[in-house]
Amino acid sequence: MSNLLEVKNLTVGFKVRDSIFTAVEDASFEINKNETMALVGESGSGKSVSAMSILQLLPEGKTIFSKDSSIKFNHSEILEMSNKQLQSIRGKKISMIFQEPMTSLNPYHRVGN
């Protein structure tokens, strides 16, 4: 089975002063073509950080991914991509609707577009 998105052992930490705060610990999941997946959890459990990791939208220099963390899109490792490669995926192959849909969606455009 070929996975469109494969997240493996995702562990995300943030440098906070002298220590590291772990926001996501060892998360693994996969999404195949035409599949929908819902990530459910209480506030602060790491849903947004997981999603932002996929598009590499977390603060550079402050975010630490564990060595065994892997996020593969179409079998390519996102955690090893250059900014240029990421730009070709962000908003084109993978899109994100941020929290507060009234401000993140444009009422003049249909969602499908």
Ligand X SMILES: Nc1ncnc2c1ncn2[C@@H]1O[C@H](COP(=O)(O)OP(=O)(O)O)[C@@H](O)[C@H]1O
Q: From the list Mg ion, ligand X, none, which binds 40 (C-beta under 5 to 8 Å, kind-based)?
A: none
Which residue in 18, 33, 44, 82 binds ligand X (CB under 6 A)? 44
**Which window, 16-24, 65-73, 83-91, 102-110, contacts ligand X (CB under 6 A)?**
16-24
Binds 56, which of Mg ion, ligand X, none (CB < 5 to 8 A, cut-off by type)?
A: none
Task: For strands 19-31 and 5-16, give the pairing.
Answer: antiparallel
Residue numbers 48-67 binding Mg ion by CB under 5 A:
48
**H helices present in the chain, as ranges:** 47-54, 83-87, 101-104
Residue 5 lies near ligand X (rule: CB under 6 A): no
Residues 80-99: x/- map of binding to ligand X (CB under 6 A)? --------------------
Closest approach of Cβ 41 to ligand X, in Å?
5
- Asked whether 66 and 11 are in contact (CB, 8 A), the reply is yes
Name the maximum alpha-carbon separation found in the chain: 46
Rounded distance, CA 19 to CA 28, Å?
Answer: 25
- DSSP state for residue 80 in the 8-state scheme: G
How many other C-beta atoms are found inside a 10 Å radius of the C-beta of residue 80? 10
Binding site for ligand X (CB under 6 A): 14, 16, 21, 23, 41, 43-49, 59
Binding site for Mg ion (CB under 5 A): 47-48
